Amino acid sequence: MLDLTVIPASGATLPEVRINRHLIDGVFTPSRTGPGTSAVTPEVPGQARDGDSGWIERLSPSHGTVVSRAPIGTIQIAELAIAAARSAFDDGRWSALSGKARATVLLKVADLIEANADRMALIETLESGKPITQSRGEITGAADLWRYAAALARTLHGDSHNSLGPDMLAVVLKEPIGVVSIITPWNFPFWILSQKLPFALAAGCTCVVKPSELTPSTTVILGELLIEAGLPAGVVNIVLGYGQPVGATLAQDPRVDMVTFTGSTAVGRGIAAAASGTLKKVALELGGKNPQVIFPDADLGAAADAVVFGVYFNTGQCCNSGSRIIVHEDIAKPFTARVVELSRRVAFGDPLDPATQVGAIVSRDHGAKIDAYVTAARKAGATVALGGAALQVPGLGPQFYQPTIVTNVTPDMAIAREEVFGPVLTVLTFRTLDEALHLVNDADYGLSAGVWSENIHTCLTFARGAQAGTVWTNTWMDGFPEVTFGGVKQSGLGREIGRQGLDEFMEIKSLVMRIGRTRAPWVRPR
């Protein structure tokens, strides 16, 4: 066994299995519709994907036991949710409210999120496999996104044009786009939802949300909190189940005005194609192959720590994962050795233990995909300097993967170009700034990039030249509600959070007015 820091099973008692339901027009309901079914206790479900039973069981990736159950949504359920959102928007029960009134509800939701953070963090850890301390941080941090969105609701404004001549005035208005479908992934189920939903609500939109079938519970709990905060029925609806047919229905239905999706680039293309038939707006936050470039004059201790954090945070199952480093050849060997040593000290293991920093891989299939990338790199001539196999954690299941560092990587290898989505770091080298920028930009993705140097000219030249939606200098993965986020190239369309994130959910209307006398007639009098 490798000399790694491994946290064994904590022996914690797991809570009772959580039962989730759809939220349609203010009422929680299972999939089956008809007399007497809106509030029934579900029958004993089948296995992880049993179409006959109508229920999905979620097994904890770290503990191997059932932690939640959810009904499998149907086209009919999705259409009911869309109809509820459409009605709520058309009758103005939310969009017609003042910004102050909408902000009041959003602020209540933020308070309720904080009050329920412990129970939400526990179920998120059990469903996703991420460490409990990370789940708590994400839940409580998401409350700040709701508060910032509340501030935007009160300060939303357009533009005026008062210099068009003495008899003309124009006003540019911002209006809610309408019904929004929100489709979220399994890796940050609550955080990513909070990058979308409160901003859509601040704009005055109504929504239908579909969380991942792997991690639905915190989204359903949020539905409970929205009702408690006084959100009108039908403004937010939640449909559980699989991408087919639920996600496809939410993307295709003509009553939906916009779809926003976070997930893989491949699925994002499918969402865009499904939405194209009705020409609805599409916002996509997709994959990344994010580099950190290390120059010899950098604070190498801080850079090494940021590299380790960047690749192992959320077990590397993160679109912003710093999955490749590009190191100046003069320092490549000692810097890589430092990263290897730090990697051995990162605590992998039981997500319920507060000492754990890195938890489980979300599924066995995904673990096999990660391992396949490492195996292919070995065969292509790369060197596995650390890890490269499943990690055995005493008392827990098999869904853990060793911290892995791959050297002697060439830019053409799949592991250097494709999103592995696991705790795997690839190391490349460079000689000049131009060469580093070429390596950074020679990728299909453009989500984020980082540069480490004490030279401000190097940092600014890199920041201007890097093809990425976010560039970090001498830091990694710092983010704030005020600062917008999104990617270029195959990393997506549109922006989230910040003022630009609110604008994604708005339509622009120009109002042009003539003041006083009329203009000269176009039709000449006889």
Catalytic machinery residues: 285, 319
- In angstroms, the CA 243 to CA 73 distance is 10
CA-closest candidate to residue 346, choices 189, 139, 192, 134: 134
3-state secondary structure of 66: strand
- In angstroms, the CA 519 to CA 465 distance is 50
Residue written as token pair 């996104």: 145
Q: How do strand 383-386 and strand 404-407 relate by DSSP bridges?
A: antiparallel
Q: Say if residue 245 is preceded by a cis peptide, omega within 30 of 0.
A: yes
Contact 183, 261 (CB under 8 A): yes
Residue type, 276: S
Alpha helices in 265-411 (DSSP H): 265-276, 300-312, 332-345, 364-379
- Take residue 402 and report the two structure tokens written for it: 């060793």
Alpha helices in 313-363 (DSSP H): 332-345
Residue written as token pair 């999939």: 31
Q: Say if residue 394 is preceded by a cis peptide, omega within 30 of 0.
A: no
Distance of CA 429 to the CA centre of its chain: 30
Beta bridge partners of 241: none
Residue written as token pair 């590009």: 326
Contact 290, 122 (CB under 8 A): no
- Take residue 442 and report the two structure tokens written for it: 């020679």
Residue type, 257: D
Residue written as token pair 């933020």: 110
- Judging by beta carbons within 10 Å of its beta carbon (0-12, 13-18, 19+), is residue 322 exposed, middle or buried? buried
